[in-house]
Chains A and B, each alone.
Chain A
């Protein structure tokens, strides 16, 4: 009798254990999913708050009772930004600048990275050193500033376009990706009589669209978010028309912050341009990027990984 019982209970016990285990993991999974939800909210809520503020009435913001949902729904702030010449010009100029810089940077990055993958490039080691050395040792802020002063780039758009148009880090990413293209493809094309340029266009570029997309994103974000070069190189008031949006935004916000005593007493951000307009400007300055980057996620993840491994 007892043996039968034992025999019957054995598989049952196993089943039971398995159920407990899977239920345990399921609880653990839910806890982890919850932690991820919290992390997501921490990343998202500040942006939602900014959006809500930009859509609220100025009064509601002064009374300070906007949290995640707009109070006194209106689009006035956006209309104001879109009709204020200063903002429109800066946004448009930053967009043009970003496109120009991204194209130029991509072109130059390909020009730099492609020859370096040729194992028989004569002088390749020296060229490689010349390029990589600048990643570890830079002259510094002031010598670069003096150079731009001497070649009369200061207070001109060139100061925003040229000095940082090649990032060595991105060259390395590009080069690593090119290395991933099998040599046999290049050699086959060479046997067919194709020169390096045609090999680049026929073999390498078509295979490199993911990395080109990644670097385009990196360069575009870098330029769109670029602030310190504009702050340092566009000092004169007549170059204000070349201010990118980040510098304009910084100045708008800085001017609305008061002296230190007032800051201490009342907190920041009280005077000057209405807060709703500031928040609308923040939206204008972030939305273009936030629309683009999720579509490129698959690519930039690979790009970052390559860069970190080889860099």
Chain B
């Protein structure tokens, strides 16, 4: 009886007035649960942040970074070197170029696909279509690249054989860029419809009924009801993608690349891998990674405030 009373009393006054001892006796298990995750974040996420110091130090990972002497030019030696490096500039350009193409061509595709799925009148058929469209999302880039080599090879590729041509789909830089985008769309277009379809279910059916009474055509309904209904989702996702403009995937360009197109396929992530992990230039590649992370954060903040300026909720 007194237990119940005590509990309800605690509930009412919440924790502010609960003394530490009572609070901990009741809730210590919550902290027990958090021990392992917090240890994980401190060791595997925050400890590496202290190694960022290496970007301003001489290239030496045998000593802890705070004991290594500073690099030249007040520690900015590696940043200066990176921006004088033609390969880095090329990697930067490739990263931005591929991401921009992805943004411009890759963003509208799932919207279009979601609109098409939304118009599909047969529920069972729609479900099957969705399942099939989600399939490529579950394939890794290694798999996709090995399939694409079979399909798009210049002389013995399936596509060239069917069309009776010998187009080097993956063999010239521009073609490779196009294939990079196309394969990206192939992989993620279906998956990305999920979020638009969810937004579409929020549109009131009464709007469509009213439009039908007024004699609106299918396209008119899409244009005047459906698209405005998912406008905020589109803007938020577009802006979030804009925030990742300097972010770079590794698997996708790395596995799709081949010796003929390195001029187009070498992105910052690959540059860091080759210089840092393969070439042991740790300071230089840490500096490049830091530059990338910082620009990413800045872009994210900018795009978030941009989203708010558009009157959207933003992402946090």
Contacts and interface: CB of A to CB of B under 8 A. Distances in A.
A286 interface: yes
B27 A121 contact: yes
Contacts of B158: 49, 64, 67
B253 to A, nearest CB: 11
Contacts of A275: 150
B269 A141 contact: yes
B84 to A, nearest CB: 20
B11 interface: yes
8 contacts: A36-B120, A40-B129, A130-B41, A141-B277, A142-B272, A147-B47, A278-B146, A304-B194
Q: Which of B14, B138, B161 has the most CB of A within 10 A?
A: B138
Interface in B141-160: 141-143, 145-147, 149-151, 153-158
A226 B251 CA distance: 9
Q: What are the 7 A-B residue pairs with the smallest beta carbon separation, nearest first?
A: A140-B289, A120-B15, A225-B140, A139-B48, A267-B153, A143-B48, A260-B259
A96 interface: no
Interface string B14-44: 1110100001001101110110111011011
Interface in B113-156: 113, 116-117, 119-122, 125-126, 128-136, 138-143, 145-147, 149-151, 153-156
B150 A269 contact: yes
B120 A43 contact: no
Nearest to A124: B30
Interface stretch (B69-77, B93-101, B290-298): B290-298
Nearest to B201: A305
A226 B120 CA distance: 35
A166 B130 contact: no
A268 interface: yes
B142 A250 contact: yes
Nearest to A138: B293
A301 B289 contact: no
Contacts of B260: 260, 263-264
A146 B154 contact: no
A225 to B, nearest CB: 4
B204 interface: no
Given A140-B286, A141-B277, 10 more contacts: A35-B116, A49-B150, A137-B297, A139-B48, A143-B49, A146-B54, A162-B40, A253-B149, A264-B260, A286-B138
B29 A195 contact: yes
Interface stretch (A3-11, A24-32, A72-80): A24-32
B258 A263 contact: yes
A32 B168 CA distance: 33
A206 interface: no
Interface residues of B, number: 106
Given A197-B29, A308-B195, A64 B156 contact: yes
Contacts of A134: 41, 45-46
B132 A25 contact: no
B170 A143 contact: no
B7 interface: yes
A249 interface: yes
A272 interface: no
A155 interface: no
B4 interface: yes
Contacts of B15: 120, 122
A311 interface: yes
Contacts of A120: 14-16, 18, 23, 27
Contacts of A119: 14
B267 interface: no
Given A143-B54, A147-B47, A285-B143, A112 B289 contact: no
Interface in A142-192: 142-147, 149, 162-163, 165-166, 187, 190-191
Nearest to A107: B36
A142 B282 contact: yes
With most chain B CB atoms within 10 A of its CB, the pick from A131, A143, A249, A311 is A143
Nearest to B161: A64
B123 to A, nearest CB: 12
B44 A282 contact: no
Nearest to B47: A147
Interface string B259-280: 1100000000100110011000
B255 A250 contact: yes
A293 B190 CA distance: 14
B220 interface: no
